[in-house]
Amino acid sequence: MAKLKPITGTEYFLWKYLPSIPLAAAFLAAFLIVTTIHLTLTIRTKTHFNHILAIGGLMQVLGYAARIWAHFSTDTIPPYIMQSCLIILAPVLYAASVYMCLSRIIRSSGGERLSLVRPRWITRVFVLADFATLNVQGNGAGLTGSDTKAVARAGQWIVIAGLGIQVATVGFFVLVAVVWHRRMGRWVRAEERMEVELVNDGQAMGDGSMEGQSMPSELPPWRTGLWMLYICSALIGVRSVFRLVEYVQGPEGYLLSREWPTYSLDGSLMLLLQIVYVIWFPKDFKVEMSDRRKKWMRLLK
């Protein structure tokens, strides 16, 4: 029967509780199902930028599989490091997908000039910052599994630094999205008023060419896409703040010494993010190839 044990040859406990098999198995199955659906939609719609989020989902599956392994091996380091790295780093890939999605929403909607950051730079700047946090958190998470307390503590502070960068990046991203949302909304309303005036002028002049035309009542895809991104960003932000507080408290703190916060404030939120992403899957934001890129493609052929 499995029981909580210190690292072999030491008196240091990596785990403060015995990882639950039913919980880990349930989340493994849930992430596997939603990631499979996500990957199927990505392939069918040929929206290749969504592959990154699918990789994050697979990392979650492997991370919770490692927690099942850890249930039987609380005295060994590999399963602890594996589950820690995979579950901590998967949301970084979720964030990268969200950042790339905003760039495509802006470019496919023709609102490039309204953005605080040029759409092409949104992907470069935010994804670069995201992978910087991936590198920092990855290095820190690897050190937290050390059997030397000083090294493990150093790893915790490295993870804290990475999480801090992630929270700041998500905050600035939301600012960019909100500013563009407001500017785009004003621009669309101005266009709608102009079209209504043209319709009224045409009717007043007896011009039948404008009859039967009306403004679309359906919510434009870019707005739906933005609200999906807001929800995903909020979930990533809440989860990152939780992890930040968890690592600041340290291994003896309330959050790291109990299992329920990991599932309630990380696993559940990231699973919800993937479900939201699948429900409002961003399939309508394909960007046409630029003339310059077309020229290069012709030259390469």
Of 213, 224, 215, 125, nearest to 173 by C-alpha is 125
Q: What is the pLDDT of residues 122-132, one digit of tens each?
A: 888 888 888 88
Reported as a single tens digit per residue, the pLDDT across 17-27 is 999 999 999 99
Residue 85 reports pLDDT greater than 70: yes
Mean pLDDT (the chain) is 85
Tokens describing residue 99 = 């950042």
Q: CA 20 to CA 67: how far, in whole Å?
A: 8
204 CB-contact burial (10 Å; exposed 0-12 / middle 13-18 / buried 19+): exposed
- Per the listing, tokens 């992430």 go with 31
Predicted local distance difference test score (pLDDT) of residue 206 = 56
Run of H or E including 202: helix 149-204
pLDDT of 295 > 60? The answer is: no
Give the mean model confidence (pLDDT) for residues 246-271.
93
Cα gap 166→216, rounded to integer Å: 38
* C-alpha to C-alpha distance for 98 and 277, rounded to whole angstroms: 9
Instruction: Determine the CATH number of domain 21-209+220-285.
Output: 1.20.1070
| Confidence (pLDDT) at 156 | 86
Rounded to 5 degrees, what are φ and ψ at 81?
-65, -40
More confident: 151 or 210? 151
Which amino acid does the sequence have at 94?
Answer: Y
Q: Which two tokens stand for residue 262?
A: 């990991």
Within 10 Å of residue 168's Cβ, how many Cβ atoms?
Answer: 13
- The answer to which of 70-74, 84-88, 139-143 has the lowest mean pLDDT is 139-143
Q: Is pLDDT of 232 > 50?
A: yes
Write down the domain spans for the chain: 21-209+220-285
Specify the residue for token string 């990855």.
Answer: 138
More confident of the two residues 261 and 206? 261
pLDDT (tens digit, 9 = 90+) per residue, 159-202?
A: 889 889 989 999 999 999 999 999 998 988 887 777 776 666 66
Contact 282, 46 (CB under 8 A): no
| Tokens coding 108 | 């496919």
pLDDT at 111: 84
